[in-house]
């Protein structure tokens, strides 16, 4: 038995796992495409904003092997522009495959290498399913605040006279 060759899909190739539709791929909010969209393209809309020392990236649409490189670029830029890390809001994601998961895992690896964190906010049902099935959801949970030095210690009640 021989291993199948894995290669980059040809332009115009579409995933058999979701219905085709006409859309623009990899467009950030507020941008307009400079060329007509191909018939089998996917939609990815991202937006980001600063929230204290963290950058929040909001992702809407479909994340697959066609749009994951655009998502990775947005996440990388957000991490670079943040002080503590990136929160990724995935509540508006309609399709999510392992390409999206790999983009998140790369973000996490890069964040940890720079002493930052990457968390997932409000994953859609589709994203939650992939994270759960792969056992990776715990990797993107927000860190609990650390207990102050006086908290968490057991206190003995005063003795009665």
Return the percentage of the chain with pLDDT > 70, whole number.
Answer: 63
Question: DSSP secondary-structure letter at 137?
Answer: G
Show Cβ contacts of residue 20 under 8 Å, excluding neighbours closer than 6 positions.
Answer: 14, 39, 40
pLDDT the model gives residue 42: 64
- CA-based max dimension of the chain: 86
pLDDT tier at 12 (50, 70, 90 boundaries)?
low
pLDDT the model gives residue 2: 40
Contact 91, 124 (CB under 8 A): yes
pTM of the model: 0.66
Q: Is the pLDDT of residue 90 over 60?
A: yes
pLDDT the model gives residue 82: 96
More confident residue, 48 or 36: 48
pLDDT tier at 43 (50, 70, 90 boundaries)?
confident
pLDDT the model gives residue 157: 52
For 12-30, what is the mean pLDDT? 48
**CA distances to 57, 130, 154 from 51, in Å:** 10, 27, 35
Contact 143, 118 (CB under 8 A): no
pLDDT tier at 15 (50, 70, 90 boundaries)?
low
**Phi and psi dihedrals of 69, rounded to 5?**
-60, -40
Q: Which residue has the tokens 């927000």?
A: 142
**CA distances to 21, 92, 119, 146 from 143, in Å:** 39, 23, 9, 9
pLDDT tier at 142 (50, 70, 90 boundaries)?
confident
Using alpha carbons, select from 103, 91, 75, 102 the residue that is nearest to residue 128.
91
| DSSP H helix total and E strand total for the chain | 3, 5
């Amino acid at each position: 038995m021989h291993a199948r060759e894995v290669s980059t899909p040809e332009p115009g190739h579409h995933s058999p796992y979701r219905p085709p539709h006409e859309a623009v791929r990899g467009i950030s909010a507020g941008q307009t495409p400079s060329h007509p969209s191909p018939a089998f393209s996917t939609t990815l809309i991202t937006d980001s904003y600063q929230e204290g020392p963290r950058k929040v990236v909001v992702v809407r649409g479909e994340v697959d092997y066609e749009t994951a490189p655009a998502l990775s670029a947005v996440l990388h830029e957000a991490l670079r522009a943040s002080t503590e890390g990136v929160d990724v809001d995935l509540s508006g994601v309609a399709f999510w495959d392992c390409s999206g998961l790999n983009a998140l895992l790369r973000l996490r690896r890069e964040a940890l290498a720079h002493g930052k964190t990457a968390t997932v906010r409000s994953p859609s049902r589709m994203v939650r399913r992939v994270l759960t099935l792969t056992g990776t959801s715990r990797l993107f949970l927000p860190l609990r605040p650390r207990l102050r030095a006086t908290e968490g210690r057991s206190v003995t009640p005063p003795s009665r006279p």
